[in-house]
Structure 1
Amino acid sequence: MPADPSRIVTARQMLTHLGLTLADLVSEPDTSRRMPTLAEYLPRVAAAASPGTRRTYGTYWNRMAAALGHLRLDEVTASDIEALMQVTATARSRRTGRQGRHAGEHVVAAARAVYRRAVADGYLTAADSPAHRVVKPRRLPNPRRALTPEELQDINVVARTSGNDVVLDALLLRLHTETACRRGGALALRLIDLDTTHALVCLTEKGGTLRWQPITPTLAERLLDHAQARGAVLPTDRLLRYRNGRPISSRRYDHLWRRIGERLPWVAAQGISTHWLRHTTLTWVERHFGYGIARAYAGHTDRRGPATTTYIKADLNAVATALAAMAGEPHPLASMHPFR
């Protein structure tokens, strides 16, 4: 069947409009861009990832390189990734572990991160990703809960009466209880992030989010005294420090909760950690001041959930008011000062 001349004219006009010729449509594909192997490509993925992503997925990327590194990106199959998930059977047992289920999740998530980057770089299409054809293990309900006042008191007593640096440990527990911050937020605090005039700390947390969080004036003064006594001088010097002047690391938290668990067996049995303090504080704020203020107190900025979250934002003064009520100490930014 001969082609319709009018359609040929229309097609030529379209090509001219796009700046193309017939030769462009029949040219050979560019073969100079060789498909890399997984081992060759993983360093590029790691270089483009955030520090947090590298910490989370680095171990699993190493496992992928060891088991599948010799394969090209387009040779890896969903079955290969599912085989890697067997790492859950031999996952390192930790106090807060979930029988390797999280490790299985991370294998899939780490593989998806690799193939998202490969799609973005033009090596594959989204439909070619084997990682996205693997189903993640179903996440179990979170066992964390709010601690009772008695439990929280027992934990604080042990922290303040044992260990080689009770001043540091007491500050850590109080900081997390007052701010409901994550470990990363506390570890990142610098001298410049402490505002003793307004009793605030600037927290840098998940996704690089920044927020000023109220703390009691008492804690603000104690944090400043602690930092200066242990060698913090420059604005960018870390706030929380060992007695020898070195900034603390996440290991301090591991040692702290291990010690508390040795003296309070129920802490070890339930796998209680710093994040439980976040649950404790936010639960109290939600019960007494409502969801909107609890959301602001937590530093949540995502837009998931009911549409009403757009309209129930709370400001810094509302968060300071909740802190003042919880701590029983007036705050300079609180909307009301019932304790004066």
Structure 2
Amino acid sequence: MPAFDKKTTATEVADAFAADIKGKTVIVTGVTAGGYGAEVARVLASHGAKVVLAGRSSKKIQETAENIRKETPKAELRELVLDLSSQKSVRSAAEEVLKYSGPVDVAILNAGIMGTPYAKTAEGLESQFGSNHVGHFLFTNLIMPKLLEAPAPRVVSVASVGHFWGPVRFDDYGFEEGKTYDKWAAYGQSKTANILFAVEVAERYKPTKLKAFSLHPGGAATGIASSMTKEDYEKFSDYYNPDGTPKGDWMGTLETSTATHLVAAFDPSIADKNGAYLVDGNVANEQAAPYALDKDQAAQLWTLSEELVGQKFAPPSAQPAAAGLN
């Protein structure tokens, strides 16, 4: 298998797995132009995937679709309005997906908000936890029947090295209704939840063909940092100058920061590492905080998440192997 590192681009990964990508249906959440999701969608479309562009703004989805079609005029694109901060919107989007003909091969859960002022989702959850984790939890479970139709389905949960800023606060995930809110601890909690979600999906769906992975995408200048303030740049002075420009060479590009998305989605050599955390295109469980890969906490988070969406999700029994295939 090809070797990947922090300088590998998404296109290079896609070239390596071109045969696996062509013709596959891939849902990408969070596809605003200039962001990770839009770049992932662009590369997938250029390699013949059928890409579902999922985002909360139809206008932004269309902008990304237009950009992709300038490069790949015959790109097979589909629009899906999905507001992860509203469980009603999530359920509506999932109903639409369940009507698709054919399977969904991969769900890349890329959408996210970071370091935002205290706010609540439509259901009253702290917005970073509610959008980054709970919305994706609900959406993925609701579209699971379409994923399980695929021959080698994968769920890719985009986390962050920012998970080190906080574990899941099971006793107070809402920061006392905002009274003790710390936006970076809240972001850390949501990113830890992204990793734990992949761990538990892998565990629950062991009898099936489904694989799940989480990842740290790297660093690139995107709109997700729009909530950062002068005080934040001072807080992270090891990484940023006071004017917000990065220090050193830690920040990559959109092209390099999306390579790991595609490794997690298509690299057949990691199939036996189900539930793993990836960094720079490689399995890197040793780079995750121990609490983020803890199976007990993963199971506890699943139970909490079911409570927060008011629905239980039981995995199916083992899927029989296709007749005549070795």
Shorter-chain TM band: under 0.3
**Structure holding more strand per residue:** 2
Greater share of residues in helix: 1
Q: TM-score, normalised by structure 1?
A: 0.21
Higher relative contact order (CA 8 A, sep 6+): 2
Which structure would you say has the larger Rg? 1
